[in-house]
């Protein structure tokens, strides 16, 4: 049994007699001859049952009882007395005494009362253990629920949990953003009273009513304001396949749908841009191979046209590759401290012959003391080549191209000005869009991929700069690039 019993009595015969009765039963029995000695033992040890005499010199049995019960309320205290009164019984009971043993008593009376007291002690300890386990379980459950709530609240996807009665059990802030609610929902409120989307509500009810073997979950797209939301609805079942409720996962797929649309448009544009020149090349070569080209001079003209069309296709493919590398951030930029004036002069030098062949005058008006900046030489050459090439293509015969530069605030400013056909105001917001080209009568016979300015914008963005456009139809255009004097993060 191993239960420990402490006998506190000032009569040695009483102490020894109780020991002789209790020890053979397997109890660990100790004794004390005074209340003070008994209290010292209680403070240093753990006892299951205390057998205490009421009348003792010094500390009385009731005083000891009060101290012991204050230290361990689960200990069983039996009061031994030869002078039992109603007042004393009431006081002892208030202090926590389990029962009384009136002197003189028989061994059987002592054993029966001790056994009852220890049984009560065992039940009390078991109850305390179960209570502590329950409290620990509740604490663990509360901790787990707190963690779950933290995780769900941090999710960018919306989460809705509904029970079988259609009441809202759980939701996170993302669900409020991705779902139209008539009012701010509260836990336990019917979802039918909160949810605006009748189609989604119908799907939730349908899934909870579906047979277990029909499907694991269903996904449905729904429009929420300007957002397109994918709602995945899954019923929750117990081990008997009975529906407990449903979980709804809401994901914002607006960007994904937009990317799909742009991808479709991209494929369509590229197909269109490549189909026409390749068809023309095929037609020219087929005509030559079939012997319908006529004189060698005609054949040469058609081959030159084929070459020009092939060159345009290669230019388009190169532009696409450049944009792809920039978008994927796979461009290996060799950033260095460089003179933008030298870069501009190099880019202009590549195109000076082309400008002169059209009777255009190209003039560089760059300050001789332009500060150097951190940048990619290769990309900046491409940037100013594209701007200068456009200034040539969209200029008028005998027109001018002026490339100027200086410092404006914290930026190095380079402006490319032409005296060409200009740009309609409604077209300016779209100039840096992929494949966009201005469609006016003056541009009908001007070839291009519609990607040159898109590449310019990406290069400027990569250098943490900006590009501005100022244009008047029939008078010309100015493209101004601002590059920060201190560029980082390339």
Q: How far apart are CA 179 and CA 159, in angstroms?
A: 10
Please report the pLDDT score of residue 226 as a whole number: 80
pTM: 0.46
**For the CA atoms of the chain, what is the radius of gyration?**
47
Chain position carrying tokens 């605030």 = 409
Peptide bond into 331 cis (omega under 30): no
Class of domain 4-129: alpha beta
Report yes or no: 122 and 1 within 8 Å, Cβ to Cβ.
no
pLDDT computed for residue 178 by the predictor: 78
- pLDDT, one tens digit per residue, over 430-459 is 888 877 778 777 766 666 667 788 889 989
How confident is residue 79, by pLDDT bands cut at 50, 70 and 90?
confident
DSSP characters for 158-217? EEEEEETTSBEEEE-HHHHHHS-BSS---TTSBHHHHB--HHHHHHHHHHHHS-TTT-S-
The domain made up of 335-484 is a member of CATH 1.10.1370.40: no
Q: How many whole angstroms from its chain centre is CA 16? A: 75
Q: Name every residue whose Cβ is closer than 8 Å to that of residue 88 and which is 6 or more positions away in sequence.
A: 54, 62, 81
Region 474-482: mean pLDDT is 93
Q: Which residues pair with 478 in a beta bridge?
A: 417, 470
Residue with tokens 């101004």: 480
Strands 76-81 and 335-338: unpaired
Query: 391-408: per-residue pLDDT in tens?
Result: 998 998 889 999 999 999
Show the beta-strand stretches assigned E in 343-410.
361-366, 373-376, 400-408
Q: What percent of the chain has pLDDT over 70?
A: 88
Going by pLDDT thresholds of 50, 70 and 90, the confidence category of residue 217 is low
pLDDT at 142 over 70: no
Domain boundaries, the chain: 4-129, 155-252, 257-327, 335-484
Per the CATH hierarchy, to which homologous superfamily does domain 155-252 belong? PAS domain (3.30.450.20)
pLDDT band at 489 (very low <50, low <70, confident <90, very high): very low
CATH number of this structure's domain 257-327, picked from the four choices 3.40.50.10860, 3.30.110.40, 1.10.287.130, 3.40.50.2300 = 1.10.287.130
pLDDT value of position 403? 95
What tens digit of pLDDT does each residue of 342-389 get?
Answer: 999 999 998 888 899 889 999 999 888 889 998 888 889 989 999 999
């Amino acid at each position: 049994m191993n239960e420990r019993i402490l006998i506190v009595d000032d009569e040695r015969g009483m102490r020894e007699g109780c020991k002789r009765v209790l020890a053979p039963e397997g109890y660990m029995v100790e004794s004390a001859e005074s209340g003070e000695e008994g209290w010292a033992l209680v403070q240093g040890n753990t006892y299951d049952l205390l057998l205490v005499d009421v009348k003792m010199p010094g500390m009385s049995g009731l005083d000891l009882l009060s101290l012991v019960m204050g230290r361990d309320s689960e200990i069983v205290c039996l009061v031994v007395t030869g002078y039992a009164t109603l007042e004393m019984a009431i006081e002892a009971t208030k202090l926590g005494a389990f029962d009384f043993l009136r002197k003189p008593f028989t061994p059987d009376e002592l054993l029966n009362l001790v056994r009852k007291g220890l049984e009560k002690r065992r039940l009390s300890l078991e109850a305390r253990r179960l209570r502590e386990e329950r409290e620990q379980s509740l604490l663990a459950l509360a901790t787990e629920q707190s963690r779950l709530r933290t995780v769900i609240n941090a999710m960018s996807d919306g989460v809705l949990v509904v029970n079988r009665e259609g009441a809202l059990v759980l939701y996170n802030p993302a669900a409020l953003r991705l779902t139209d609610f008539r009012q701010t929902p509260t836990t336990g409120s019917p979802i039918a009273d909160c949810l605006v989307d009748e189609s989604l509500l119908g799907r939730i009810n349908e899934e909870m009513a579906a047979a277990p073997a029909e499907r694991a979950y269903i996904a449905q797209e729904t429009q929420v304001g300007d957002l397109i939301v994918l709602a995945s609805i899954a019923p929750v079942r117990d081990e008997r396949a009975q529906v407990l409720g449903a979980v709804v996962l809401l994901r914002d797929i607006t960007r994904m749908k937009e990317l799909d649309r742009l991808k479709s448009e991209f494929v369509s544009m590229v197909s269109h841009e490549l189909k026409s020149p390749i068809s023309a090349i095929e037609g020219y070569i087929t005509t030559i191979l079939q012997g319908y080209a006529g004189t060698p001079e005609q054949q040469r003209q058609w081959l030159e046209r084929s070459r020009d069309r092939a060159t345009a296709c290669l230019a388009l493919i190169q532009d696409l590759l450049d944009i792809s590398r920039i978008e994927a951030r796979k461009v290996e930029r060799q950033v260095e401290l460089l003179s933008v004036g030298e870069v501009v002069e190099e880019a202009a030098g590549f195109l000076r012959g082309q400008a002169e062949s059209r009777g255009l005058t190209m003039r560089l008006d760059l300050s001789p003391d332009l500060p150097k900046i951190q940048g990619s030489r290769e990309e900046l050459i491409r940037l100013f080549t594209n701007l200068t090439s456009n200034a040539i293509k969209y200029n008028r015969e005998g027109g001018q191209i002026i490339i100027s530069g200086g410092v404006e605030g914290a930026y190095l400013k380079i402006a490319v000005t032409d005296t060409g056909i200009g740009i309609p105001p409604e077209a300016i917001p779209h100039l840096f869009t992929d494949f966009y080209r201005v469609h006016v009568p003056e541009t009908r016979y001007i070839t291009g991929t519609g990607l040159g300015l898109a590449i310019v914008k990406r290069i400027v963005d990569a250098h943490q700069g900006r590009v501005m456009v100022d244009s008047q139809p029939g008078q010309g255009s100015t493209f101004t690039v601002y590059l920060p004097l201190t560029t980082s993060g390339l």
